[in-house]
Amino acid sequence: MMKTITKIKNSKALVTLVWVLGLLVIWEIFAFIIQATKRTPENIMPHVWQIFYSLIDPKPVSNGMSCLQVVLFNAGQTLSRAGQGFMIGTLIGFALAILMKLSHIVEKIAAPYLMLIQLIPILGMAPIILAMTHDIGSSRIIIAAILTFYPVATNTLAGLNSVEKQKYELMYSYAAKKSTVYFKMLIPSCIPYFFTGLKIAAPMAITASILVDTLQGDGGLGCMLSQSLKHAMSIYVFWDIVVFSAVIGVLSCSLMGWIENAVSPLKRIERKTKKKKEAA
Amino acid sequence: MIKKRKSLWRRLRENKVAQGVSSVLLPVLFGVLILALWQGQILHKIFNTDTNTLPLPSRICHIIIDNIPAFAQNALYTLLVAVIGLVIGSIIGYLIAVFAATFQKWGKGGLTIVGAFNAIPIVALAPVMTNWTKDISNDPNIRSMFAKTLVVMIVCIASMSINAFRGLTELKPFALDLMKSYAAKKSTVFFKLRLPNSVPYVFTALRVSVPISIISAVVSEYFAEYIVGVGREIRENIVLGQYPTAWAYIVVACLIGLVMYGVLMLVESIVLKNRKVK
């Protein structure tokens, strides 16, 4: 039994691995074609190994820092702001969802605006928020928070509204207080939805933070990205940042998945039943 | 028997007409309140800004009305990028989902990869696409359009393929068994069962994709070569310090989003007329 399970697991990882390798091969084929036909192939499509080599290359590219140092140093700046905005946005989003559940009036006022807010190009508004706050750090936080807030709010609200009528009836039969209903029933059952919202929001917060960086010249991944594109430093910095932000985006999404696995009571029950099944 | 009279509040809550009226009236009132605060420059005091960075709504309206041709042209380009990218991306996404549903073992792994593409920031994608499409045409407008459309397309593929895959595989219980008992061919199962089952999921995906397509069109315009489009105008006007014009373009971008969303809702209500929408 155990053997077959590990076999299935292995094959699943294998499938993903094959896909990744396939994509790499396609990339490399094009990279070779471009290398043969273009004067500056590294601007269009460098080889994968060239990108990775640039990461370990100790040759300084700017201010005596190597590519990797540049990327990591600026990533710290960008990601910490994205993280702060993400936290604030999550808190506000969750609070709003609970408020909307508590009060019909708040729900009625907020519901159409929650739909409308996702049609506003917040990322397009980045320069204006920068002009309003005069500080790139706080505008990063604000934009990341706004972008985080609505997926969290809408998904959490969907979770709160998904609770079956029977559960309410059960709670009624216990003569449960309102606070008990919320803490024992509504909030636990909205957690999977809440995490779906977080998974959508996490890459968005990072995108927002990087985009705000490109607007002003004082550090951050986006700033380095645009400088490298203008050939103020090695073009490989650009490729490193592209790869890095892609990896961080994917990681941020799976990080939320891991946190959910660790925190969510539903997942804990799932694991328990799985263990029991395996033991049986 | 003493019948306790329900309070006014309670009666209002149970009255359907009152509920319907209030669900329209309350948000409208809220919107009017915000606009009034804005026009009355109270918002400016709260955010500690001046009327240049946060221009009055009346000023924004004036700017749009005075420059309708320029606004219409830029809006048209952005709309074109968003719509073409959305349509092509959704079709490709659906085809990927069909592929994944037919060859489930390999398809699921592929979907994980597609989902990972979704997490790549648009900011990283847009300049890469601009680089790749340098040789498409000698006209910078055409090659910029191509690059922007590619970005929107890639962003839309992911949400469509993941949702459509769910629609193609999460069938009603026993539906597949019924098809088997009919000895239905694979193609019949696909066209009579899987395809119709996936339609509501397609609309779920589109509801996510429509706002994203506009945002990615706007952002990819930032990095495009050719200066055109709502997003680019926002940025150019900010660089020039013309905040009111930039705000006007933001309003236009919102309007584009509203129109596209409205059209989607209309189509959805027609197509899903005979179904119970979850």
B230 with B220: CB under 8 angstroms?
A: no
Question: Which chain A positions have a beta carbon within 8 Å of B131's beta carbon?
Answer: 43-45
C-alpha to C-alpha distances, A255 to A72, A199, A203, A262, B181, nearest whole angstrom: 19, 8, 11, 11, 44
By CB atoms closer than 10 A (0-12, 13-18, 19+), residue B273 is exposed
What CATH number did the domain enclosing B72 receive?
1.10.3720.10
Nearest CA of chain A to the CA of B190: how many Å? 24
pLDDT confidence of residue B278: 45
The average confidence (pLDDT) of chain B is 84
Looking at the predicted structure, is the pLDDT value of residue B168 above 50?
Answer: yes
In this predicted model, what pLDDT tens digit does every residue of A109-134 receive, in sequence order? 888 888 788 777 777 777 778 777 77
Q: Note whether B55 contacts A: Cβ–Cβ < 8 A.
A: no
Which residues does chain A have with pLDDT short of 50? none
Structure confidence at residue A120 (pLDDT)? 79
- Asked whether the predicted pLDDT for residue B102 surpasses 60, the reply is yes
Within 8 A by CB and 6+ apart from B43, the residues are B34, B37, B54
The Cα B144–Cα B129 span in angstroms is 9
Residue in chain A lying closest to B214 (CA): A121
| pLDDT band, residue B93 (cuts 50/70/90) | very high
Selecting from A119, A246, A252 the residue whose C-beta is nearest the C-beta of B124 gives A246
Whether B29 is covered by a domain: the verdict is no
Q: Which of A104, A124, A206 shows the shortest C-beta gap to B234?
A: A124
Verify that A24 and A71 share a domain, yes or no.
no
B-facing residues of A in 142-201 (CB < 8 A) are none
Task: Say yes or no: A21 and A116 in one domain.
Answer: no
Which residue's entry shows tokens 């710290």? A76
Range of the domain at B196: 57-271
For residues B225 and A235, give the distance between their C-alpha atoms in angstroms, rounded to a whole number.
Answer: 18
Taking each helix axis from N to C end, the angle separating B140-169 and B104-118, rounded to the nearest 10 degrees, works out to: 130
Residue B214 touches chain A, beta carbons under 8 Å: yes
Task: Give me the residue from A119, A132, A214 closest to B257, CB to CB.
Answer: A119
Give the minimum alpha-carbon distance from A211 to chain B in angstroms, rounded to a whole number: 6
Clarify whether residues A12 and A86 are in a common domain: no
Overall average pLDDT of the B159-169 stretch: 87
What is the extent of the structural domain holding A190? 67-279
Interchain proximity B218–A123, CB inside 8 Å? yes
pLDDT band at B5 (very low <50, low <70, confident <90, very high): low
As for the ipTM of the complex, it is: 0.74
pTM, to two decimals: 0.80
Instruction: Tell me how many domains chain B contains.
Output: 1
Q: Quick one: pLDDT at residue A92?
A: 92
Contact map slice: B 194-213 vs A, CB within 8 A:
211
Distance CA A212, CA A9 (A): 41
For position A217, what pLDDT does the model report? 64
Question: Are B121 and A203 in contact (CB < 8 Å)?
Answer: yes
Q: Which chain A residue lies closest to B129 (C-alpha atoms)?
A: A44
Beta bridge partners of A60: A66
One domain for residues A115 and A76: yes
Q: What is the pLDDT of residue B85?
A: 94
CB contact under 8 A, A246 and B27: no
Q: Which of A11, A18, A131 sits opposite B243 (nearest CB)?
A: A131
Q: Are residues A165 and A233 in the same domain?
A: yes
Whether B258 is covered by a domain: the verdict is yes
Q: Do A125 and B235 touch (CB under 8 A)?
A: no
Residue B198 has pLDDT above 80, yes or no: yes
Q: Per the domain annotation, does B261 fall within a domain?
A: yes
Is residue A90 domain-shared with residue A38, that is, in the same domain? no
The answer to whether B82 and B256 are in contact (CB under 8 A) is yes
Please say if the pLDDT value at position B207 is more than 50: yes
**What is the mean predicted confidence (pLDDT) over B111-117?**
79
**A243 and A124 within one domain:** yes
Q: Are A146 and A105 contained in the same domain?
A: yes
More confident residue, A116 or B210: B210
Beta-carbon pairs below 8 A across chains A and B? 142
Q: Is residue B246 part of a domain?
A: yes
Contacts 24+ apart (CB under 8 A), A47-53: A48/A24, A50/A236, A51/A236, A51/A239, A51/A240, A51/A243
Q: Are residues A37 and A76 in the same domain?
A: no
User: Between B93 and B141, where is the model more confident?
Assistant: B93
Q: In the prediction, which pLDDT does B67 show?
A: 85
pLDDT of residue B263: 92
Residue with tokens 């000023």: B59
Q: B83 falls in which pLDDT band (50, 70, 90)?
A: very high
pLDDT for residue B6 is more than 70:
no
Question: B149 falls in which pLDDT band (50, 70, 90)?
Answer: very high
Is the pLDDT at B1 greater than 60, yes or no?
no
Closest chain B residue by Cα to residue A40: B131
Segment B250-264 mean pLDDT = 89
More confident call, B271 vs B13:
B271
**Hey, is the C-beta of B119 within 8 angstroms of any chain A C-beta?**
yes
Tokens of A27: 């990339």
- Structural domain count of chain A: 2
What is the distance between the alpha carbons of residues A144 and A208, in angstroms, rounded to a whole number?
A: 6
Q: Which of residues 195-224 of A touch B (CB under 8 A)?
A: 203, 206-207, 210-211, 214, 222
pLDDT at B235 over 70: yes
| Residue indicated by tokens 């499409």 | B133
